[in-house]
Amino acid sequence: MRLLIPPRPRAARRVRQAQLYLDLWRNDDEVLSDDIVDPGPEYHELELGPHPFVQTLHRTYTRDGVVRLECDISVRLLAGEVVDVRVDGLLSRDAHDLDGIDALTLRVQSQETGAAAMQIGDVGRLIISARNVLSAN
């Protein structure tokens, strides 16, 4: 006689979610111009777990059809369920003039929120807030 033993339940898949808030502030020379449009704050959710443990996000901000700021954001899951956020930003005044480049790294522990501001040249600042939570999925 053989006994059927049910398999052990697998540990629940631990998927983290990085909740990102981005807000671009500009200190342009043309402060009184009507062609400046503030995109306002943006919200993004990126899931991180065993697969994938790295997610990327690319943001491009334009004015008058010309790219003014490009940001590459990579979010990675580290040991201990720590979320690592890396932002690389490139800011230009016009199509041919590079005004600044900067990068920042933000590490956020499980169930916590972290924030940082990246000054790009003398005309722009990107504010980022990241929250590290357990995904509902």
The pTM of the full predicted model, rounded to 2 decimals, is 0.76
Confidence check: pLDDT of 96 > 70: no
| Segment 119-134, tens digit of pLDDT | 766 666 788 999 999 9
The single residue listed with the structure tokens 């980022």 is 128
**Regarding predicted confidence, which is higher, 2 or 88?**
88
Q: Is the peptide bond before 52 cis (omega within 30 degrees of 0)?
A: yes
**Regarding predicted confidence, which is higher, 103 or 9?**
103
Residues 43 and 73: their CA atoms lie apart, in Å, by 13
Tokens of 114: 């972290």
Q: SS3 for 76?
A: strand
Residues 130 and 111: their CA atoms lie apart, in Å, by 10
pLDDT tier, 135 (very low <50, low <70, confident <90, very high otherwise): confident
CB-based burial label for 43 (10 Å; 0-12, 13-18, 19+):
exposed
| Segment 41-50, tens digit of pLDDT | 899 999 998 7
Residues 124 and 44: their CA atoms lie apart, in Å, by 21
Identify how many contiguous H helices and E strands the chain contains and give both numbers: 0, 8
Residues 79 and 59: their CA atoms lie apart, in Å, by 27
The single residue listed with the structure tokens 């720590």 is 82
Q: For the chain, which residues make up each domain, given as ranges?
A: 17-132
